[in-house]
Amino acid sequence: MEVSNKVAVIKNHIEDTPKESHFELKTENLSLSLVPGSDDVIVKNLYISIDPYQINRMKSHSSSQKAIYFAAPITPNQAIDGVAIGKVVASGSPRFQKDDVVVGVFTWAEYSLVKEASIINKLDHSEFPLTYHLGILGFNGLSAYAGFFELCKPKKGEKVFVSAASGSVGSLAAQYAKLFGCYVVGCAGSQKKVELLKHKLGLDDAFNYREETDLKSALKRYFPEGIDIYFDNVGGDMLEAAVDNMNAFGRVAVCGVMSEYTDPGKRAAPDMLNVVYKRLNIRGFLAADFLNIFPDFVSCTSDHLRSGKLQNLEDISSGLDTIPSAFIGLFHGDNIGKKIVKVAEQ
C-alpha cells in the first residue's frame, strides 16, 4: 500500500532571515511495505518540534555544522530531520510494534521512514500530554535545567537574568531559578510577554528589550546590585550589556545566540577586561552533553508539574503547511513558549 506524503523542504540554503519563499511543500508517494529483513520503521508524525538551531543547518556554511551529528547541514530539496512524536504504522524492528507512540528524530513530513536507531523512546504510557516530551520534558527542558543548575551552580538569593524569557528554554530556566530561590528578571520582545513573565510565571521583574535604547543602563536599572547569573539565549548586544553588569565570579550559561543566527555581521564582543577582572565564567553548552542527568531532570520537572509550581508554555499550530510560518515566526518573536506543529490527530 502507498500513501501520499507531504514533506517540507528548503529550496535553497538560507543565509539570513528565513522567509516563506525559502520553503516548499512537496508531495511524494511512500510505500508502507518494508523491505523484508530491514529494521526500518515507518512513523506517522503527530507533533513536530520547531527549533531555532535548524537555521544554522540550513546555511551553506556555519561553524556549528561540523560540531556534532545533529547540527549537520540540511540539503535543499531533501527531507529535514528533527525531533518529533509519531505513531508507528509499520515496523521491521522487534523493539517497536504498530501503533506504538514514539519520540525520535523523524522528518518534517506527514510520514517518516527511519532506522530504528532514530527512535529515542516509546511514550505509550505518558502521564503528561504528549507535546510535553518535545518541550518541558524533552531537550528544551533539559537545556534549561542543565544550563541553570549544572553550569551556573546557583546559590539561593542570587540575582539571575534570563533573555528570551518567554520562549521555550527561557521560560523554564527562569522558573527553575525562581523555584530555587533566586531573584529573577527576564526580558522578552513585547509588552504582552512582559506581563506574562511577571504575572503568570511569577518573575520578580521583566522588561521589553525592544523598547530599550541602551541595554547596559536598562540592566543597571533592573539589577542595581549586579547580575550573578546570566542565562543567555540571544547573544549579541544583550550579552555585551550583561557582561558589563555582572558581579565578580558571575556565571554566564550560553545556551544560544538568537540575535546572531540570522545576521552574519553580528557577533557579541563583550569587554574582555570585565571578563578577566570580574573572573567571569562564560560557558557554552549543549543539552546533549547532559543526558546523564536526564532521569533526574524528568523526575524533578514532573514533580513541579504535578504540584502546579511550574507553568508549561506551548504554542501549537495545526497542519504540516504551517511549518514554514511556525519556523520563521521564531525569528520574529511570534511564539510564546515551545513552538510545535501538530501534523495529525493522536
Binding region for ligand NAP (CB under 6 A): 51-53, 139-140, 143, 164, 166-170, 188-190, 193, 233-234, 255-259, 285-287, 330-331, 333, 335, 339
Residues 6+ apart with CB under 8 A from 268: 235, 236, 237, 239, 240, 257, 260
Tell me the C-alpha distance between 223 and 283, whole Å: 22
Name the residue nearer to ligand NAP (CB basis): 45 or 259.
259
Amino acid at 66: K
Closest distance between ligand NAP and the C-beta of residue 330, in Å?
5
Nearest to 321 by CA among 10, 12, 25: 25
Closest distance between ligand NAP and the C-beta of residue 248, in Å?
26
Closest distance between ligand NAP and the C-beta of residue 184, in Å?
15
Our CA dihedral for 27, 28, 29, 32, rounded to 10 degrees, sits at -100
Give the burial string for 87-120 (b: 16+ CB within 10 Å, else e): bbbbbbbeebeeebbbbbbbbbbbbbbbebebbe
Tell me the C-alpha distance between 201 and 5, whole Å: 40
What would the 3-class secondary structure string for 177-192 be? HHHHCCEEEEEECCHH
173 is written with which cell numbers? 530556566
* Residue 262 Cα distances to 17, 282, 307, angstroms: 5, 22, 39
Name the residue nearer to ligand NAP (CB basis): 260 or 321.
260
Name the residue nearer to ligand NAP (CB basis): 178 or 339.
339
Closest distance between ligand NAP and the C-beta of residue 168, in Å?
3
Name the residue nearer to ligand NAP (CB basis): 90 or 218.
218
Closest distance between ligand NAP and the C-beta of residue 252, in Å?
13
169 is written with which cell numbers? 528554554
Name the residue nearer to ligand NAP (CB basis): 132 or 139.
139
Name the residue nearer to ligand NAP (CB basis): 18 or 250.
18
Closest distance between ligand NAP and the C-beta of residue 26, in Å?
26
Name the residue nearer to ligand NAP (CB basis): 136 or 227.
136
Closest distance between ligand NAP and the C-beta of residue 257, in Å?
6
